[in-house]
Structure 1
Amino acid sequence: VETRLAPDPWLTLQGQRQTRPRPRVGWVGTAAQTGDLLVLSEVIKTLADRVEWVVMGPCTRWLRPYIHELRSPVEGTLFPQALASLNLDLVLVPAESNLINRSKSPLALLEFGACGFAAICSDVLGVPEGLPVTRVTNETDAWISAIEEHIEQMGECARRGDALRQAVIDNWMLEADHLQAWHDAWLKG
């Protein structure tokens, strides 16, 4: 059964874009995902003078000098609003190449989409067809190139965020027919 977002609170969220002179580019993760963040180490250092790096979650001390805003992770019912309040222009979803990451649900991409954030992710993640995100290899140059493409055309970046948000609203909300699929899956056992 596919992962879905509950309409409340995700349907009403919308982050603000272009709130600062430099684009706000972010990563959101947990302690278990610190290795994923390290995929971006050189990317963060290289682009630190061109973007505002925003991290919600743990950040190694070696990257902290390059991070403009560091927020503690938020969980539970406070998470959706805290995520939207990051006001990101672009969110990055790096993932180390391992079995866990190749098996992950697209939940984070759906949450970022609900906030209207354009997204770039590692190509090791299984991204459902029709979810308009940019996929890149885990090479520094590929990440930098994709980020530059987004931040050099902020209008297009915003359009990508809108397209992802609309795809999530249209296809990934937990509506009545999807509830029935979950119900049927649980009762089959």
Structure 2
Amino acid sequence: MSETTAIHQVSEQDLLRRRHTWLLTGAAALLALLLAAGVQAGQDGGLLWVARAFDHPLVITLAILGLLERAAYVGLNHPVARALAIALGLLTGLITLVSVTYVLVMGLWSTTVSSENAPGRTDRRVVVESVPGILDPLWEAYVFEGAGPFQRHWKLGFFNGDDPDNELTDATWSGPSQVRIVTGDGHAHLIDLDPESGRPTRPLNRG
């Protein structure tokens, strides 16, 4: 093999390695942007589908770390740098193992308990979700406003069942822009909504 051919092969290998490194780094950057969009959408009034798809910091962060670890391993030739990349990969794997164990025990996503459309409307509904918790039963109540990709979510309240008086026992409509929430102590709480946006004027938190 001539010296020119060897240099040409090395150059091709370097080019391929750099290309893979940029692809992996770009994928990690894209995931970071999607995570930022998901966290923003997870706030009150955010787009529901964006929050559901990308508001998962733990899962997406682990994926980003995995991509960066692989990019570092592929893109760096120095033995010390590769050793650090392998160490990062092992750490990511350990965190992933712990996270998967937690998810298998506790669950990751909320479960819908009830969903009811507002009187005379199909673009507004009250939704109650059971939230994964370590010890206590937890619930969150929302108003989902709009339809399709433009549907937004507004939090009605959070309820921690460590005290039975704070349990959420019922969430229903008392009018097109008013929700009636009943807690474990038997009290009924009326929450008014903005007629246009569906935003609650006074969210209720118990526990």
With normalisation by structure 1, the TM-score equals 0.29
